[in-house]
Amino acid sequence: MKKRIAIFGSTGSIGTQALEVIAANPDKFEVEILTAYSNDSLLIQQAKQFNPNAVVVVNENKYNAVKDALAATDTKVFAGEKALEEVAAFDTYDMMLAAIVGFAGLKSTLKAIETGKAIALANKETLVVAGDIVMQKAVEKRVPVIPVDSEHSAIFQCLIGETRNRIEKVVLTASGGPFLGKKPNFLVNVKKEHALQHPNWNMGAKISVDSATLMNKGLEMIEAKWLFNLQPSQIQVIIHPQSVIHSMVQFEDGSIKAQMGLPDMKLPIQYALTFPQRIPSSFPRYDFTRSSSLHFEQPDIKTFRNLALAGEALHRGGNTACVMNAANEIAVYGFLRNRIGFLDMTELVERAMHKIHFIENPTLEEYFESDAEARNFAASLINL
């Protein structure tokens, strides 16, 4: 039988690539749900191509346009943030691809877990904000959470067959982004068009900026802690500009497993959708006979301090990562609209982390309150 997929965030980078994977394998998948925040034209195009049972457009101003465009189809149209949760609770799909960018993806992912749906997780902020609650709920409901991020997919793949073997550490690789080797006197003049030019990956604007500041790698450290039940001391970040080794696992005997491949997000997306099986693909292959050397170096956390801030959040726990993530989302929003500079983003995140009240064991409600408080504080600093 075909696996029925719900793509939450279908018009973003991950969502559009997932639909390419599904289109290439029509005998294995069918699209049950598509959601978008505001890109009504692309959502309509996707719905007409894949004929899902339901679509959600979060921006309610776009509801009529979507509903009218799909009036001749069998697709049900919903609008608003609450609709994301309601549709996530449908029993008509098998797996949710959680690809909504940022904190906005948390509620719908939790709802899918509560209703027993498998999760292909591309939204790292869900675990950064409330990883303890999300993973505990997944355990209670016996729901698999399969990572889509290339780094966490790599770790996941390296751990297959290693259930009884102790992990000494995981090594998350980072390309270093477009400003690898640059110093603050250069970064102070960086504009958004420079930050969006990632050397290896084709990603959305928010993730591209996070990659340029190394915040993305910081978020991935926290995500790895919850996905793989790790201690902070077991997580290492290393710069690997070629992005061929996507991450590694070192076991207690010193042996290291690495997952390799060309930088193409469709591969980890397909693996998550088909797990535990692998299926053929037409993705480009890595050619060892044409490869140059693979290079590794320590990250420069004095220049790219977001990675150090994420390390602080990782060790401190509680609501610190939630606050950091909220402030960072506002900071990136401000940077992309030319309201603050590249280095100002880190300053804003650090101030929020030190300002917002620390809660050691937050409830879900307290996570939401911490998120709102951090956003309001960060926005006040840049007059949003």
Q: Which pLDDT score is estimated for 197?
A: 85
Write out pLDDT tens, residues 199-219: 776 678 898 999 999 999 999
Does the model's pTM come out above 0.75?
yes
**pLDDT tens, position by position, 323-361:** 999 999 999 999 999 999 999 999 999 999 999 999 999
Q: How far apart are CA 224 and CA 45, in angstroms?
A: 35
> Are 304 and 178 in contact, with CB atoms under 8 Å apart?
no
Query: Do residues 55 and 47 make contact, with C-beta atoms less than 8 angstroms apart?
Result: yes
Percent of the chain with pLDDT over 90: 93
For residue 31, is pLDDT > 80? Answer: yes
Given a cut of 80, is residue 291 above it in pLDDT?
A: no
Peptide bond into 241 cis (omega under 30): no
pLDDT in tens, 91-147: 999 999 999 988 889 999 999 999 999 999 999 989 999 999 999 999 999 999 999
d(CA 118, CA 145): 6
Look at residue 51 and tell me whether its pLDDT is greater than 90. Answer: yes
pLDDT band at 272 (very low <50, low <70, confident <90, very high): very high
Q: Where are the domains of the chain?
A: 3-147, 153-316
Mean pLDDT, residues 39-46 taken together: 98
Q: What is the pLDDT of residue 145?
A: 97
**pLDDT at site 104:** 87
Instruction: Give the Cβ contact number of residue 299 at 10 Å.
Output: 19
pLDDT at residue 384 tops 80:
no
Average model confidence (pLDDT) across the chain: 95
Please identify which residue in the block is written with the tokens 């099986």.
Answer: 277
Q: What is the CATH number of domain 3-147?
A: 3.40.50.720
* pLDDT at residue number 201: 67
Question: What pLDDT is attached to residue 354?
Answer: 96
